[in-house]
Amino acid sequence: MKQNRLGLITLIFITIATVLGVLKDFDILAVPDNVMMAVRWILAVELFIYAVVKKNLTTWILVCMIFGVFIGIDYPHVAIALQPLSKGFIKLVKTIVGPILFATLVYGIAGHSDLKQVGRMAWKSMLYFYCATTLALFIGLAAINISHAGVGVNIQNMPHNELPKPVKDLTDESILQSLPDSIHWLYKTLAFFRNVFPENIAKSIYDAQILQIVIFSVIFGVGLAMVDEKKRKPMVDFCESLSETMFKFTNVIMYFAPIGVGAAMAYTVGHMGVDILKHLFMLVATLYVALLAFILIVLLPVALYIKLPILKFINAIKEPVSIAFATTSSDAALPKAMSAMEKFGVPRKIVSFVIPTGYSFNLDGTTLYLSLAAIFVAQAAGMHLSFGDQLLIVFTLMITSKGVAAIPRASLIILIATADQFGLPTFIIAAILGVDELMDMGRTSLNVIGNCLATVVIAKWEGEYNPDYEAPTEA
């Protein structure tokens, strides 16, 4: 009751601050700056009390994001001085790239080495996963190219020495000069494939060359799957332990997220002014429209094609989806999602294979977000990417997004690494951090919806869906 009352008071303060801000911005009411500043910091105190009472990481992230906006508006020099905190958070996240990709990919391949046992279910699941996530990537690409949410962002006030300069291979440049223009595309395409192979895996991890890490991990996993059980098991167990450890490592880092997000927002607003928020919330709106489009264009037709009882399905998944939305973690929703789909009539053997596998290979919301966010970064930086360049980024994300962990803000790892690889300015991602929590809620919810639907698709494909099945009641 106390929390509800405090929440209502907080909502009233937010409403008053918003109304005053709108009246001032549109010159409807001349509100003195000192009055606006007082209102902002009274609201800040109220939000702080609310966060202390809620004791929730998501609440703290959202509250610190608002704190960052207020500091950026009222104390821009202090806001700029907070930049090392946001950069420190990004550096912490980047340390996870190599270990988590290696562990999850190797365990995913070698841990299911008996592919004859899973048989048709394996290739059918993988085919469905890759089709769904590929469509998600292209819908995200289309959405950001339609909305142009990043176009017009003023980055002139940002330190330009942070912009990474793409390194040109002198050998490639000389060869290209000797070839006719009509053949350049072929050489560049083959050079791209050449560069995805690692020369030294330690160097690839150090340089955060994510595609090279993925290629090495896949080949390592295939090789490990070919080893006899006695020698394979210790390495598989090690990779499982390493992946679990890295998940916990990420969870620990996320306790620093409120500070990193608040500092990122403060720095962004302090450097560029509050106008940047218009573009960031355009990005959020673009993502949610794209997520809805994916449901209507991809998931709904699939559901209608397999004659899914849609209302019953919605009722079955509403609890795991609510958990995913609130926690921004697919893992938190996993137990409920599996039990819900079993009660829905999908056999346990299919549920236990499809949903866990989908958590690595079928993150529809995350893959859609990655293509959208990558192009947003390029638009904000004023970098013109041809359709071919965008397709290359999508192709890279098509591979790398399959190793994304189903934990809060894990997609940030892939986004930063991909931006590094294509010479996109990673400092703009610090601005995205400010609203990443809002986007993570939507994309994580879609991840769960997509994986739940996938179990029904595979069950129908196998002819084993039983809508009249009654799962045993838990003791």
Q: Please state the domain extents for the chain.
A: 2-87, 118-191+264-461
89/469: higher pLDDT = 89
pLDDT tens for residues 377-426?
888 877 887 888 888 888 777 766 655 544 445 667 777 777 777 777 77
Dihedral sign for Cα 53, 59, 62, 64, please: positive
pLDDT at 7 over 70: no
CATH of 118-191+264-461, one of 3.40.50.300, 1.20.1440.230, 1.20.120.1200, 1.10.3860.10: 1.10.3860.10
pTM score of the predicted model: 0.61
Question: Does position 160 have pLDDT exceeding 60, yes or no?
Answer: no
Q: Would you give the distance in Å from CA 352 to the centre of its chain?
A: 24
Dump pLDDT digits (tens) for 31-68.
666 777 777 788 788 778 888 887 777 778 778 878 88
Q: Are the CB atoms for 294 and 446 separated by under 8 Å?
A: yes
Q: Which tokens go with 197?
A: 């192979």
- d(C-alpha 174, C-alpha 394), whole Å: 28
Instruction: Give the whole-angstrom CA distance, residue 470 versus residue 468.
Output: 6
Listed residue (436, 393, 407, 426) closest to 90, CA to CA: 426
Q: Is the pLDDT of residue 271 over 90?
A: no
Q: Which amino acid is at 360?
A: S
Nearest C-alpha neighbor of 452 from the set 384, 329, 328, 358: 358
Has residue 211 got a pLDDT over 70? no
Angle of CA points 367, 371, 414, to nearest 5°: 65
The residue type found at 178 is S
Closest CA to 370 of 452, 443, 445, 420: 443
99 vs 89, 240, 250, 309, 375, CA distance in Å?
A: 18, 11, 11, 41, 26
pLDDT of 295-352, one tens digit each? 999 999 999 999 899 999 998 898 888 777 766 666 667 767 878 888 898 887 777 6
Q: Give the phi and the psi of residue 252 in degrees, each rounded to 5.
A: -65, -45
- Check residue 406 and give its pLDDT: 47
Contacts of 360 (CB under 8 A, 6+ apart): 104, 108, 402, 403, 404, 406
* Cα 434–chain centre separation: 14
Least confident among 36-50, 146-160, 204-218: 146-160
Question: Which tokens in the block code for residue 349?
Answer: 């053997």
Distance CA 323, CA 345 (A): 21
In whole numbers, what is the pLDDT of the chain averaged over residues? Answer: 76
Q: What is the pLDDT of residue 474?
A: 44
Least confident of 91-105, 190-204, 442-456: 91-105
Which pLDDT score, from 0 to 100, does residue 253 have? 78
Mean pLDDT, residues 129-156 taken together: 83
| Separation CA 100–CA 341 (nearest Å) | 28
Least confident span in 21-30, 59-68, 396-405, 450-459 = 21-30
- Compute the average pLDDT of residues 248-267: 79
Q: What is the DSSP string of 160-202?
A: GGGSPPPPPPHHHHHHHHHS-HHHHHHHHHHHHHHHTS-S-HH
From the list 231, 236, 199, the residue with the least C-alpha distance to 105 is 236
Structure confidence at residue 314 (pLDDT): 92
Predicted pLDDT of residue 475: 39
DSSP 207-230: TT-HHHHHHHHHHHHHHHHTS-HH
Reduced DSSP (H G I as helix, E B as strand, rest coil) percent helix, strand, coil of the chain, to 5: 80, 0, 20
User: Is the confidence at residue 181, as pLDDT, over 60?
Assistant: yes
According to the model, what pLDDT value does residue 153 have?
62
Backbone angles phi, psi at 126, to 5 degrees: -65, -40
Is 460 within 8 Å of 339 (Cβ atoms)? no
List all residues 6 or more positions away from 7 whose beta carbon is below 8 Å from its beta carbon: 50
What is the residue type of 379?
A: Q
Q: Is the pLDDT of residue 166 over 70?
A: no
Return d(Cα 432, Cα 272) in angstroms, integer: 14
Question: Cα separations (Å) of 471 from 92, 307, 334, 432?
Answer: 43, 21, 17, 43
Lowest mean pLDDT among 199-213, 240-254, 263-277: 263-277
Q: Kindly give the interhelix angle for 310-327 and 330-344, rounded to the nearest 10 degrees.
A: 160
Report which secondary-structure segment, H or E, holds 143.
helix 115-147
Residue 291 has pLDDT above 90, yes or no: yes
What is the token pair recorded at 153? 């962002």
Q: For residue 455, is pLDDT > 70?
A: yes
Q: What pLDDT does 311 receive?
A: 92
